[in-house]
Amino acid sequence: MSDNTTLTVPALQERVDAIFRKAGLNEIQAGALARVIVAGERDACKSHGIYRIEGALRTVKAGKVKPDAVPELLLQEGSAIVKVNAKGGFANPAFELGLPALVERARSCGLAALVINDCTHFSALWSEAEGLSEQGLAGLVMCPSYATVAPTGGNKPLLGTNPFAFAWPRVGKSSYVFDFATSVAARGEIELHRRAGKPLPEGWAIDADGNPTTDPEAALAGAMLPFGGHKGSAIGTMIELLAGIMIGDLTSPEVLDYLGTTTLAPFHGELIIAFSPEAFAAGRPGNPFARAETLFEAIVGQGARLPSQRRYLARAKSEADGITLTDAEIKQLERLFALGLEAVA
Amino acid sequence: MSDNTTLTVPALQERVDAIFRKAGLNEIQAGALARVIVAGERDACKSHGIYRIEGALRTVKAGKVKPDAVPELLLQEGSAIVKVNAKGGFANPAFELGLPALVERARSCGLAALVINDCTHFSALWSEAEGLSEQGLAGLVMCPSYATVAPTGGNKPLLGTNPFAFAWPRVGKSSYVFDFATSVAARGEIELHRRAGKPLPEGWAIDADGNPTTDPEAALAGAMLPFGGHKGSAIGTMIELLAGIMIGDLTSPEVLDYLGTTTLAPFHGELIIAFSPEAFAAGRPGNPFARAETLFEAIVGQGARLPSQRRYLARAKSEADGITLTDAEIKQLERLFALGLEAVA
């Protein structure tokens, strides 16, 4: 226990923010980035927590994201589309800028979309989906990533791991939220198997010749597979079309061409769709929020779990008791603060 | 070959329409129903072809759908939601009524939704998704069905096979369209295994105690499983929330309670979301339709298939050479025409 340090959520926010400010990010970039990273750490979602600071700094150092970008809001009279140009900065401050306009349009039109263009994205989508459900809206969020997944029946990386997230608001409770890659596994999980010298489960990947493989090295040289066979492959393709091509931003193969690596955060766009359950249900019998609780009770009542329950338990604990970091994690935060961009390769 | 009869697409349309008119359906119900059934037969999608006529008539005879319903269009100034109340009739004439308003709203607002309430739905969703892409819009279509699928980790039927369809328009080519159940298999496929005395593949179903089973009888008494594990289960739940609860219509367990059987077409609602790629891509580099072709070429170029290709090949053949029906199928059409509702149990 003597090797651990416990920080309150705001205290960790302040530390992460200070690292980004010292590394040259402006106030809006640093603040939004720190909020999403601390939310990951708070929810025990370690793969999207402070571990990500280094990747963000590496992307800044490589010149692939603008640390001083000021996102711009583009509104058009009568349109249900809210656009934010991230101006080459991170997606997170662009989302924060666009959210109030998206909420207003979704309430008045019944549904609305937020398009973020020219952004670097590296956080989990659940935080944005929750941003909508906290306002009483349902939300759907998606974006491409890098070409690392072969379409079903194919043999080469083309699609990204293309995350797909959804949130439904719950009165007085944490939202119903899911957020998953449309590949069977995340690329990081294959990397973990490689390091541990363990074979992959069947069905995760193919080798460079397109044959099924359980060898992590062969999988990294080949391609990952979509979840759920041709159905997941179709959803991954839909995300390239809607959240890449339709919004006039890069697809996963174009992202990989642009960056030349999967070690930097992807530069592309993002699509967020917001629905007002009140507008949709108007004039119909039943309260949609109460009826959703009946569905959730039926799911939980038969022993199934709602998604995000593990995150919400961790969140409650972090908010009550603080976030506990290891000595190595604290040292790394201190190192990143002291060295800034010099700390990353 | 002497046992087969070949009909042109319009000739089959006329025959199916006549069957429905004689069984008491009004002109708009009969016409729309015949169009969607003939489209299924034309595309060699036999499970949604003339085989469905009997189920439609059975649902009429059971008093669970109104054969003379006149759907009503409900428009609200400034809203991107177009609502059509099917007035207890089939979904198809309601969709046809709402489509022009949906297209107009999607073009002016950038995105829009069509909600169909109080309808009986029994056709494949691809025909509605194609209705949008033929107008140059991308579309997403979903609806609940009956509670026959257990959520992942659960042991009882709760979700429906909840179909999810998507279309993207292609200039001078058939649209990119997918349409699939969010269960591993359709209920009909389990029934076919039962009749053939064949075990089910692993992972399709659980028995009444929640244990995995490959016995079709046990599966029919138990529950089907969602495709892609917890991810498919989450998408199936999202469809209950958006296309059942949010639109103020029945969820899959409520549909089953209302009908008391899965042998009648489900009574519920449907959600259709339309996107204008031109509005989304405005002001951004590249033409979205040309860029999508690059993606499709990359998919096909590595030996993968685009969804719906089999349907489109069959369609081209049917349009050129007509639709060939067996002697038994022709006899059944004659019988349904002669006896009307008396022909069904």
pLDDT digits (tens, 9 = 90+) for B162-213: 999 999 999 999 999 999 999 999 887 898 899 899 999 999 999 999 999 9
Res. B6 pLDDT band, cuts 50 70 90? very high
- CA–centroid distance for B199 within its chain: 27
Three-state secondary structure call for residue A120: strand
For residue A186, which residues of chain B lie inside 8 Å, CB to CB?
Answer: none
For residue B282, which residues of chain A lie inside 8 Å, CB to CB?
Answer: 248
**Is the pLDDT at B1 greater than 70, yes or no?**
no
Assess contact for A214 and A201: CB atoms under 8 A. Answer: yes
**Is the pLDDT at B259 greater than 90, yes or no?**
no
List, in order of start, the domains of chain B with CATH numbers: 1-61+307-345 (1.10.1530.10), 76-183+226-281 (3.30.1370.60)
Mean pLDDT of B232-260: 96
Q: Contact A275/B79, CB-based, under 8 Å?
A: no
Question: Choosing from B41, B48, B318, B329, which is the catalytic residue?
Answer: B48
Chain A nearest CA to B173, separation (Å):
16
Examine the residue annotation and report whether B134 is marked as an active-site residue of this protein: no
Mean pLDDT of B94-110: 98
The tokens for B291 are 């860029």
Q: Contact B154/A281, CB-based, under 8 Å?
A: no
Q: What integer best gives the mean pLDDT of chain B?
A: 95
Question: What is the rounded (10 degree) CA torsion for A115, A116, A122, A126?
Answer: -40
| Radius of gyration for the alpha carbons in chain B, expressed in angstroms and rounded | 20
Examine the residue annotation and report whether B121 is marked as an active-site residue of this protein: no
* B212-213 and A205-206 strand pairing: unpaired
For residue B257, which residues of chain A lie inside 8 Å, CB to CB?
Answer: none
Three-state secondary structure call for residue B123: coil
DSSP H or E segment with residue A39: helix A27-42
Query: What is residue A123's predicted lDDT score, i.e. its pLDDT?
Result: 83
Residue A234's nearest CA partner among A164, A293, A173 is A164
Query: What is residue B263's predicted lDDT score, i.e. its pLDDT?
Result: 82
Indicate the DSSP class of residue A343.
Answer: G
**Interatomic CA distance for residues B126 and B136, integer angstroms:** 15
Query: What is residue B104's predicted lDDT score, i.e. its pLDDT?
Result: 98
Q: Contact A307/B230, CB-based, under 8 Å?
A: yes
**Chain B, nearest residue to A286 by Cα:** B248
Distance linking the first and last C-alpha atoms of chain B: 32
Mean pLDDT of B252-277: 91
Encode pLDDT of A228-268 as tens digits: 999 999 999 999 999 999 999 999 999 988 888 888 888 89
Query: What is residue B254's predicted lDDT score, i.e. its pLDDT?
Result: 95
Active-site residues of A, by number, are 47-48, 189
Res. B214 pLDDT band, cuts 50 70 90? very high
DSSP H or E segment with residue B22: helix B9-22
Question: Choosing from B96, B130, B189, B329, which is the catalytic residue?
Answer: B189
Q: Contact A241/B279, CB-based, under 8 Å?
A: no
Residue B151 CB: number of other CB atoms within 10 A? 29
Residue B343's nearest CA partner among B87, B53, B5 is B53
Q: Is the ipTM of this complex over 0.95?
A: yes
**Chain B, nearest residue to A149 by Cα:** B299
Query: What is residue A189's predicted lDDT score, i.e. its pLDDT?
Result: 86
Encode pLDDT of B304-330 as tens digits: 999 999 999 999 999 999 999 999 999
Query: What is residue B180's predicted lDDT score, i.e. its pLDDT?
Result: 96
Res. B2 pLDDT band, cuts 50 70 90? low
Chain A nearest CA to B318, separation (Å):
26
Reported in sequence order, the residue ranges of B161-228 that DSSP labels E, i.e. its strands, are 163-168, 176-181, 205-206, 212-213, 223-224
Encode pLDDT of B115-163 as tens digits: 999 999 888 899 999 999 999 999 999 999 999 999 999 999 999 999 9
Q: Contact A246/B299, CB-based, under 8 Å?
A: no
Print burial letters for B196-206: b (CB count within 10 Å at least 16), e (below 16). Answer: eeeebeeebbb
List, for chain A, all residue ranges whose pLDDT scores fall below the cut of 50: none
Query: What is residue A266's predicted lDDT score, i.e. its pLDDT?
Result: 85
Q: Contact A151/B307, CB-based, under 8 Å?
A: no
Q: Contact B108/A229, CB-based, under 8 Å?
A: no
Chain B nearest CA to A131, separation (Å):
17
Query: What is residue A2's predicted lDDT score, i.e. its pLDDT?
Result: 60
Mean pLDDT of B73-100: 97
